[in-house]
Amino acid sequence: MNYLQLHEQNKEQSLFGRYITLNHIEPLLEKYNAAIIGKSVLDKPIYTLQFGSGKVKILMWSQMHGNESTTTKGLFDYINFLNSNTKESERILSKFTFCIIPMLNPDGAELYTRENANAVDLNRDSQNLSQPESIVLRKTFEEFQPHYCYNLHDQRTIFGVADSGKPATVSFLAPAFNESRDVNDVRIKAMNVIVAMNDVLQQYIPNQIGRFDDSFNINCIGDTFQYLKVPTILFEAGHFPNDYEREETRKYIFIALFSGIEFLSENDIVISKIDDYLKIPQNKVVFYDFVYKNVKINYDNKEKIINFAAQYKEVLNKNKVQFEARITQIENLDSFFGHVVIDANGEQFSSEETDFPKIDQKANFYLGKSKKVVNGLIIN
């Protein structure tokens, strides 16, 4: 099966980039007859979509963190497939019933923040249920009684696949259900789906799939639902080279959704694939957006050669996310990689502010007399 062609056929063209709000998706919600199931802190509607009539029920939610929009795009691409009136989509709809909350945190989405309007991380509120959005998700879970849960997120560009030097473009987790991180039949079901998705994704982004840390935290929604004996799968949409708008990554979220559900449609017997699951390398914080090597500086009247790194800060400006590169780390980069690596070859650092890099300084400087760096990148 040509998954990339399938994605192109079903890609939701109205959604693009990192800033996805309720205003962007409401025409799609109307198109697919979404229902309002609650309100946010700022009284914005929280919608649900239901498709299919099958026995196996799957609950999915995205943008629990408002600034994590890649999975929302991939989710609407998959929703378009479900409504494509093809033999394949009709077969899936006959086997599954989907309950989808495309944007759990509409306030955070508009503000482009991780938290909701009360500055609460909804993914740490599964026990207190202190926020209206948390209550909506828990009520939907209890009323829908899913057989599987899909917890859809983004992760930062800092994550790589172990020490491979490859970015973690997509990462998964079958969350723990207790402190000792035991494995039971419920968790095995989630692991098996992840293995199936990994097998397919390796054909498209080899060595760019990670396994998220499974430390137990009952306040996290995935851990809670796994504890309540419902197989839960965490999706983390990460970085693909030069894809800061996450338009490439959305393809692989679509492929993961498609291939995982295809696996569930064809497999009823639970055969443990825990060994294959554990072979997926763990996520690790090993990347900066920019690494600058062999840079000469003059510090205390002494010349020395240093390395330093810069990271993009995401800033919402006039309804668009801008990426501002700022110096993040000086030296101590031996175990880190850069999505962009610039070797100064001993050229002298200089800037309008200082003669040496400082933490949180904008990455605008010169290397020697001929190399001008603007917002992290050499422009001449």
Report the candidate in 250, 246, 184, 176 with the shortest Cα–Cα distance to residue 212: 176
At a CB cut-off of 8 Å and minimum separation 6, what does 171 contact? 155, 159, 209, 210, 211, 212, 235, 236, 238, 283
At a CB cut-off of 8 Å and minimum separation 6, what does 279 contact? none
Topology of 3-285 in CATH? Aminopeptidase (3.40.630)
How far apart are the C-alpha atoms of 89 and 257, rounded to whole Å? 13
pLDDT score of 301 = 82
Torsional sign, CA 199, 203, 204, 208: positive
How far apart are the C-alpha atoms of 55 and 145, rounded to whole Å? 11
Topology of 287-378 in CATH? Urease, subunit C; domain 1 (2.30.40)
pTM metric for this prediction: 0.97
The domain spans of the chain are: 3-285, 287-378
Q: Do domains 3-285 and 287-378 have the same CATH topology?
A: no
From first to last of its 380 residues, the chain has per-residue pLDDT tens of 899 999 999 999 999 999 999 999 999 999 999 999 999 999 999 999 999 999 999 999 999 999 999 999 999 999 999 999 999 999 999 999 999 999 999 999 999 999 999 999 999 999 999 999 999 999 999 999 999 999 999 999 999 999 999 999 999 999 999 999 999 999 999 999 999 999 999 999 999 999 999 999 999 999 999 999 999 999 999 999 999 999 999 999 999 999 999 999 997 666 889 999 999 999 999 999 999 999 999 887 889 999 999 999 999 999 999 999 999 999 999 999 999 999 999 999 999 888 899 999 999 999 998 899 999 999 97
Lookup: tokens for 186: 């419920």
How far apart are the C-alpha atoms of 133 and 131, rounded to whole Å? 5
How far apart are the C-alpha atoms of 165 and 146, rounded to whole Å? 38
